[in-house]
Structure 1
Amino acid sequence: MAERKLYLGGRLRRLRRELGMNQSAMAAEIGISPSYLNHLERNQRPVTAQVLLRLADAYDVDLKSFAAEGGEGTGVDQLGEIFADPMFSDLAIPRYELLEVADNAPSVADAVSRLYAALVERRQHPEGGAPDETSLVTPEAWVRDHIQAQRNHFPYLEEAAETLAGALGEPIGLAEALRRRLREAFGIDTRIVPPDLLDAASQHYDYHRKRLMLSSLLRPESRTFALAYQLALFEFRPLLQRMIEAAAPPDTPTRRLLHMSLANHAAGAIMMPYAPFLAAAERHRYDIDRLCGEFGASVEQAAHRLTTLGRPGARGIPFFMLRVDAAGNVSKRFAGESFPFSRFGGTCPRWNLHSAFQTPGRVATQIVETPDGQRFFTVSRTVDRAVRLDPRESSQLAIGIGCDAKYAPKIAYADGLDLSDPYITPIGPACGICPRLRCPQRAAAPAGRTLALNELQKTISPYPFVG
């Protein structure tokens, strides 16, 4: 770090924006003048080792990732995905220009990402005239970006849930404690009812009768989560409202989805309170089945919880998580830190997440390498949906969690693996932007690349191109 000057103005601005601070407040907390911080953010001064250490101390910043190429937020890979769109093919924007935007103008990079998300949504729904611009960014995309901007960690909600969980007692028997709390504190009666009474819902709260109805198809861990969700809506109402107001969603549907997402986060934190869950995760070396047994959670619930362990001074391994169906549709994306996959496309077919459907219930491990040389240790397996209304339909989904390969020795699933094995599975983002030349599973021609086709020769990749 001492051998090169670090100009990290964009990352400093992004960090300050995520913390909701002005320059004067941040400068005071790290012991420098506002004018000096202004120079740092404008890349008129390099960030010194002393400033980096103060940032790490004040905000629990990971110095290696903060000072590394790329940084957080809309990075060069995501911009590359956006500008690989055919409508930009004549521009041939070089990677170094994308890197300059990502590093030096992070707000511009985020704005470009938001505009492109709106364009993708508009392409999918071309009919309907000219709606308000804000409606082109879907509630799901807006909430996902907001959660990721917080690194999937909400400290005040975590503290409140941890306090409540302590009052409720041990995880075993939590469902009854939740039912009792709903009844005694809020006068809400809970009933298990046949699914036909709820139509397509798995749970429903009747305001008039003050009755929470849960589908009899819900498994025990899903019933517990449903009870925790309903309790969070009532118990944390003022806190949730403050968090929503601070986030400032653009419209009512987005506001409601954010409310539900935060209540879901709280429900997971009630079932698996932060400090006990982190201690158990480290004790069991992140063995998900053992965590499920200790906290009465499902595999998906425990895996999701592993992505939220970002408390300053008490961090867990920074996992990312994806959930896909058999057709490859991504229905969940969460990340505690870096997230190496495409935002606008699917996932790489070479990641064994997709083959998990061939071995239901079995754990599959893999070490993968992204085009930039970063390696990740991943764990994939199938899970069942919380509710299956039609027994003739498959109830299976696949989830994959992963982290930087440097954490693999701390994880039980890596035992017996040769982490120095020279064969690491090369993966990439969506095929349309993947730079790998000789991929036999490429499903689309790379945007902005010249195809190298020769009628006298057939290649392993169906879309060979000039590197």
Structure 2
Amino acid sequence: MTDRKIFAGASVKRLRRGAGMTQVALADALDISASYLNLIERNQRPISARMMLLLADRFDFDPRQLVADEPGGGIDGISRRLAGPMFDDLSIDRSELEDWLAMAPNTAEAFVRVFDHGLREYAPSASKNADSLQLVQREIERWRNHFADLDAMAETLADELRLGSADLYGAIAERLRARHQLAIRILPEAVMPDLLRRLDLHSRQLQLSEMLDTASRTFQAAILLGELEAQSEIRALVTGADLQDKAAERHFQSHLSSYFAAALIMPYARFLKACEQTGYQILLLERRFGASFEQVAHRLTTLQRVGARGLPFFMLRIDRSGMASKRFVGASNASLAESPRRCPLWNIHRSFDRPWEVHTQLVLLEDGSSWFTLSQAVQGVGSGAGRNQSEFAIGLGVAADLAASLYDARGLDLSSENADLIGLGCPACTRPNCSQRSAPPKSRILQFDERELGLTPYNFVAD
């Protein structure tokens, strides 16, 4: 796999100043010259793997934070903001962004702040919902989708519930009844034709549709228990996010309630131990914790507890059109999950043709990063109720150099030369001669030759 140069000057400077050290003092500790450290902090030199480990050892932090803290979210973060139609005519390619971040990191950060502020303040009302979702998505990414306080509280509560019953659903139901005077009632689909869950405070009932499967019933009950017993912790996280948007606050609160429910069903330490023992075998994890494929996939993106980290997975949920309705990048920093478009050569799309089967693929992106991915088609929650016949494909991925321990990767050669070449959607992809291409790359000039016909109608200047 091609090594990606990491420019982390702003992060290194922040660490140094936080420790009250001069450049000379930190340079001595890292066994480099002060002038070289100065170049690193000005993003004139990339940071080496050795230096990342030395910094991590001295300042006790996850070295992957250096990548996450790149100005403007790094190249991937800025690329997401430049993906809109406003910038289509500029043909900005990745090399230009690399130069910008290297030469002027502070102006890149300033651009992102002005851009994001503009989204909040001046977006037309028709796009406010999308803007609210973006605000929440960025807050989740800032936390790497790991909320340690919620995890710890859910883990303690899960242990307490296990003392009373091995049946988690029954234990949650009893807790709701005894402590909160709330009963769970399963109602026929005809009574709740357009609803899967309803909290009726007049009758003191959590009413669930019979169309919910066992895993979904437990999850919905766990959400309510979290909303009641982790209310102050969830509210503190929402308030601390300072989203300044009511819709975003409600959406973030909903995400945190679901996070707590997943942590209650799959307590951190027990879940991570099961992952490592089984090679992250999804089916066994589903059975062991009474969870669905989607619930397990989501939980895998959250395993970032200090001192007990799991593999850094990303998760994506798409419909048949390729539209993403969920994305959790976690600690993976995967542009494959962050991209607004999908490559048709990624076999996540084939999941719809063979549902309930896990599809694996080793893929190589243009930036040289290689990923091992798993995909499976699932029905939407409560599918079959009324006119609800929804289906989605769940995609999971982890860096190929970390995938050797996975059950689904056993016996496979994970070297990049064996990977399938894919892109981040045709407008962002510059791979030549792709017969699947449906649009030209934005960053390249088209060429036309009336005497020749290639594999694609879109021929373009290579660079």
Which interval holds the TM-score relative to the shorter structure? Answer: 0.7 to 0.9
CA distance in 2: counterparts of 1:33 and 1:233, whole angstroms? 47
In the other structure, the counterpart of 1:27 is 19
2:399 matches 1:407: no
Checking the alignment, whether the CA contact within 8 Å between 1:380 and 1:399 is kept in structure 2 is yes
Q: Is the 8 A contact 1:79 1:113 kept in 2?
A: no
- SS at the partner of 1:169? helix
1:137-156 CA distance string (max 9 Å, x none): 62211111110111111111
> 5 Å matches for 1:307-456?
307-337=301-331, 338-341=333-336, 343=338, 345-390=340-385, 394-420=389-415, 422-456=417-451
**SS state at 2:232 partner:** helix
C-alpha distance in 2 between matches for 1:68 and 1:245 = 26
One-letter amino acid matched to 2:396: I
C-alpha distance in structure 2 between counterparts of 1:190 and 1:114, whole Å = 43
Moved more, 245-254 or 221-230: 245-254
Residue deviations 1:335-385 (CA, integer Å, cap 9, x gap): 222122264622111110001111111111110011011100011111121
Name whichever of 424-433 and 142-151 sits farther off.
424-433
- Compute the displacement of 1:116 (Å): 8.3
For 1:74, the equivalent position in structure 2 comes to 73
Distance 1:252 1:136 in 2: 11
Structure 1 residue 327 displacement after superposition: 1.8
**Structure 2 counterpart of 1:99, which letter?**
E
Task: Give the drift of 1:67.
Answer: 6.1
In the superposition, relative to structure 1, how do residues 102 and 116 fare at CA in structure 2: closer, same or farther (>3 Å)?
Answer: farther
- The answer for the alignment partner of 1:253 in structure 2 is 247
In the alignment, residue 417 of structure 1 is paired with which amino acid? Answer: L
Question: What's the secondary structure of 1:376's corresponding residue?
Answer: strand
Deviation at 1:136, TM superposition (A): 7.4
Which of 214, 234, 255 matches 1:240?
234
Task: Tell which deviates more after alignment, 33-42 or 143-152.
Answer: 33-42
Among residues 197, 202, 205, which one is paired with 2:196 in the alignment? 202
Deviation of 1:202 (Å): 1.3
Query: How many angstroms does 1:267 deviate by?
Result: 0.4
Cα distance in 2 for residues equivalent to 1:267 and 1:201 = 20
Matched residue pairs, number? Answer: 441
Q: 8 Å contact 1:114–1:137 — kept in the other structure?
A: no
The farther-off stretch of 222-231 and 170-179 is 170-179
Distance 1:158 1:60, change over 3 A: same
**Where do 1:5-404 residues align within 5 Å?**
8-12=8-12, 26-27=18-19, 32=21, 43=42, 53-56=54-57, 58-62=59-63, 65=64, 74-80=73-79, 82-83=81-82, 87-88=86-87, 91=90, 93=92, 95-102=94-101, 104-105=105-106, 107-108=109-110, 110-111=112-113, 114=116, 125=126, 135=128, 138-169=131-162, 172-337=166-331, 338-341=333-336, 343=338, 345-390=340-385, 394-404=389-399
Asked if structure 1 preserves the Cα contact closer than 8 Å seen for 2:280 and 2:407, the reply is yes
Deviates more, 1:305-314 or 1:410-419: 410-419
Quick one: distance in 1 between partners of 2:52 and 2:363? Answer: 34
Native 8 Å contact 1:27 1:33 kept in 2 = no
Q: Give the 3-state SS of the residue equivalent to 1:263 in structure 2.
A: helix
Distance 1:98 1:119 in 2: 26
The verdict on how the C-alpha distance between 1:33 and 1:137 changes in structure 2, with shifts beyond 3 A counting, is farther
Structure 1 residues 56, 144: closer, same or farther in 2, change over 3 A? farther
Query: SS of the counterpart of 1:353?
Result: helix
User: Using a 3 Å threshold, how does the CA distance of structure 1 residues 428 and 176 change in structure 2: closer, same or farther?
Assistant: same
Tell me the SS of whatever aligns to 2:447.
coil
SS in 2 for 1:197: coil
Q: How far apart are the structure 2 equivalents of 1:428 and 1:117?
A: 28
Q: CA deviation at 1:188?
A: 1.1
Secondary structure of the residue aligned to 2:417 is: coil
Structure 2 unaligned segments of length 5 or more: list them: 27-36
What TM-score, normalized to structure 2? 0.84
TM-score (norm 1): 0.84
Secondary structure of the equivalent of 2:392?
strand
Aligned letter for 2:137? R
Q: Mind listing any 5+ residue stretches in structure 1 that lack a counterpart?
A: 17-22, 127-134
String of CA shifts for 1:165-206, please: whole Å, max 9, x gaps: 111107951000001111111111111112343352211112
Encode CA deviations 1:6-26: one digit per residue, 9 max, x unaligned: 86223347x87xxxxxx87x3
Q: Conserved in 2, the CA contact under 8 Å of 1:452 and 1:465?
A: yes
Deviation at 1:91, TM superposition (A): 4.5
Aligned amino acid, residue 111 of structure 1: R
Comparing 416-425 with 240-249, greater Cα deviation is found at 416-425
The 3 A distance-change label for structure 1 pair 117 and 429 is farther
More displaced 10-residue stretch of structure 1: 38-47 or 325-334: 38-47
Letter in 2 for 1:79: I
Shift of 1:310: 0.5
How far apart are the structure 1 equivalents of 2:68 and 2:203? 57
- Asked if 1 retains the 8 angstrom alpha-carbon contact of 2:318 and 2:325, the reply is yes
* 1:12-68 CA distance string (max 9 Å, x none): 47x87xxxxxx87x326xxx3699899899639987967853445645313xx4567
Tell me if the contact between 1:92 and 1:448 (Cα under 8 Å) persists in the aligned partners. Answer: yes
Q: Measured at CA, do residues 12 and 203 of structure 1 come closer, stay the same or move farther in structure 2, by a change above 3 Å?
A: farther
Q: Secondary structure at the match of 1:368?
A: strand
Instruction: Give the deviation of 1:387 after TM superposition.
Output: 0.7
